[in-house]
């Protein structure tokens, strides 16, 4: 092509074609010079403006690329490639709606334009419209089966959704189609990292660097893999190389700082572990032994207090039983003495008077005697029970409460059991401590409390309710407060 230009220095097409060759050789500055010369020689050369727009995109001069594509479209309104290239520039400027418009127009003008579908898929992915992106990539591959770029971009979208196996398959296909494509190896390494196949990932990154020694992203991603394995020294070395190749990339600088921070933390942890290992077993044994002795002493003290109080409770119960037995015997003797007195009275004063000793004649008198003696017997029962219970009630409640307080100090793994035990015993026994002796006697007269006596066994209870802890708690509790109600305003 140089020979052709030397033969005719005014051949604009020759300059354009040589610019395309220079693009393929990544000599973009030289390519730009040829495109400029072609436009200078032929100002209405639409294809030259389009090619220069492509070079501007590669050089990240996106505004200039849009200007060139605008000129190309002005000169050639049905120029699908110019719309696609302008869409790329809009995408990089994050002007996504304008990019979609350009890609749509390119596809409208050229329905089988695989690169336009591929570009629109990239913009869908940037907008996190993953399903639409997959549709565009699939269409691009359908139109162009060996579309390496579409496979790569579809793999990148799979990575964004953490679909590492699908991404691996796409990158594998791209490498099959283009074995010397360094980017494909780098991306496949990323998929392997997602699958935790670190050794294979390192092999892919190494291959990418071998094919493209100045590939900063390959060094950066290999550093990420080293960081994942906590190989911070190797990670920092890779980040350093990536920064050397691309000094202004913020991701490279940030991740190197993170790796350095973790490396320092790792050193500190190692030093701390070394210090702790010195005599750690001995110190741990001493601490455990000391805690064990302390706990044993506390448990022994608690259990000792509990045993003393249980013994005291047993003695009090036995004393209570003896008092109850004595009271029952006294009640029985008084009852028998009363019956004997009645019998003597009827024998001497009633039966002798009438002079008739038939057994049936005695029944009316016995009935009268029972009616008269019933209030006396009930009075004896209530008096004896009140004397016995009023004397020991408050002391018994305090004793039980003290035992419960000791029981609370003993740890238990069942939180529900501990909560129920505290609610049942703490509220009930303390209620008796706050009552006066008169209130206690009134409560005793209204229900049975304490052990049964002799008269409890031989006399009916009648309409008196049986004593239960629940009934007693409900009787002592305050009545619920009802919220105010209103009929409303008419």
Please, what is the Cα angle at 376 between 371 and 380, to 5 degrees? 145
Q: Average pLDDT in the 212-237 region?
A: 91
Q: Is the pLDDT of residue 292 over 80?
A: no
pLDDT of residue 111: 94
pLDDT band at 413 (very low <50, low <70, confident <90, very high): low
Q: How does pLDDT run across 90-126, given as a tens digit for each residue?
A: 999 999 999 999 999 999 999 999 999 999 999 999 9
Q: pLDDT higher for 117 or 390? A: 117
pLDDT band at 261 (very low <50, low <70, confident <90, very high): confident
pLDDT band at 436 (very low <50, low <70, confident <90, very high): very low
Q: Is the pLDDT of residue 482 over 60?
A: no
pLDDT of residue 80: 94
pLDDT of residue 7: 53
Q: Which pair of structure tokens corresponds to residue 92?
A: 């990089």
pTM: 0.54
Q: How does pLDDT run across 331-388, given as a tens digit for each residue?
A: 677 777 777 776 776 666 655 554 555 555 556 666 666 666 667 666 666 666 666 6
Q: Under the phi-then-psi rule, with left for phi > 0, alpha for psi from -120 to 50, and beta for the rest, what region is 265?
A: alpha
CA-CA distance, 12 to 40, in Å (whole number)?
A: 8
CA-CA distance, 34 to 47, in Å (whole number)?
A: 13
Q: How does pLDDT run across 120-154, given as a tens digit for each residue?
A: 999 999 999 999 999 999 999 999 989 999 999 99
Q: What percent of the chain has pLDDT over 90?
A: 36
Q: Is the pLDDT of residue 394 over 60?
A: no
101 closest CA partner among 116, 118, 115: 116
Q: Is the pLDDT of residue 37 over 70?
A: yes
Q: Average pLDDT in the 299-323 region?
A: 69
């Amino acid at each position: 092509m140089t020979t052709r230009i030397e033969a005719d220095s005014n051949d604009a097409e020759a300059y354009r074609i040589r610019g395309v060759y220079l693009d393929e050789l990544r000599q973009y500055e030289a390519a730009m010079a040829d495109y400029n010369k072609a436009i200078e020689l032929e100002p209405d050369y639409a294809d030259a403006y389009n090619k220069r727009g492509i070079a501007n995109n590669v050089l990240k001069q996106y505004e200039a690329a849009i200007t060139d594509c605008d000129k190309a479209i002005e000169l050639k309104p049905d120029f699908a490639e110019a719309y696609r290239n302008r869409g790329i520039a809009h995408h990089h400027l994050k002007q996504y709606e304008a990019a979609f418009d350009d890609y749509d127009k390119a596809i409208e003008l050229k329905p089988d334009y695989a690169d336009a579908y591929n570009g629109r898929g990239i913009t869908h992915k940037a907008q996190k419209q993953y399903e639409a992106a997959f549709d565009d990539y699939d269409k691009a591959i359908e139109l162009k089966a060996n579309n390496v770029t579409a496979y790569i971009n579809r793999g990148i979208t799979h990575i964004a959704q953490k679909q590492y196996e699908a991404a691996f398959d796409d990158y594998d296909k791209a490498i099959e189609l283009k074995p010397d494509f360094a980017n494909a190896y780098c991306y496949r390494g990323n998929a392997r990292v997602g699958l935790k196949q670190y050794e294979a990932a390192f092999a892919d990154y190494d291959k990418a660097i071998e094919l493209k020694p100045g590939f900063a992203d390959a060094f950066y991603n290999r550093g990420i893999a080293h960081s994942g394995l906590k190989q911070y020294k190797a990670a920092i070395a890779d980040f350093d190389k990536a920064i050397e190749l691309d000094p202004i990339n913020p991701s490279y600088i940030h991740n190197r700082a993170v790796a350095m921070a973790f490396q320092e933390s790792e050193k500190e942890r190692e030093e701390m572990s070394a210090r702790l290992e010195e005599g750690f077993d001995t110190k741990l044994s001493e601490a455990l032994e000391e805690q064990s002795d302390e706990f044993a002493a506390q448990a022994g003290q608690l259990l000792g207090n509990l045993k003393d109080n249980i013994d005291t409770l047993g003695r009090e119960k036995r004393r209570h039983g003896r008092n109850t037995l004595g009271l029952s015997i006294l009640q029985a003797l008084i009852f028998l003495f009363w019956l004997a007195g009645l019998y003597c009275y009827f024998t001497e004063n009633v039966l002798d008077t009438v002079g008739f000793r038939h057994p049936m004649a005695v029944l009316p008198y016995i009935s009268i005697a029972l009616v008269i003696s019933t209030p006396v017997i009930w009075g004896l029962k209530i008096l004896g029970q009140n004397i016995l219970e009023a004397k020991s009630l408050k002391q018994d409640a305090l004793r039980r409460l003290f035992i419960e307080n000791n029981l609370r100090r003993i740890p238990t793994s069942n939180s529900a059991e501990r909560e129920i035990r505290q609610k049942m015993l703490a509220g009930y026994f303390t209620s008796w401590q706050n009552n006066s002796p008169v209130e206690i006697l009134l409560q005793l007269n209204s229900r049975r409390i304490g052990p049964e006596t002799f008269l409890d066994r031989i006399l009916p209870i009648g309409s008196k309710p049986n004593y239960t802890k629940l009934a007693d708690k409900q009787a002592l509790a305050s009545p619920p407060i009802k919220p105010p109600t209103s009929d409303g305003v008419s």
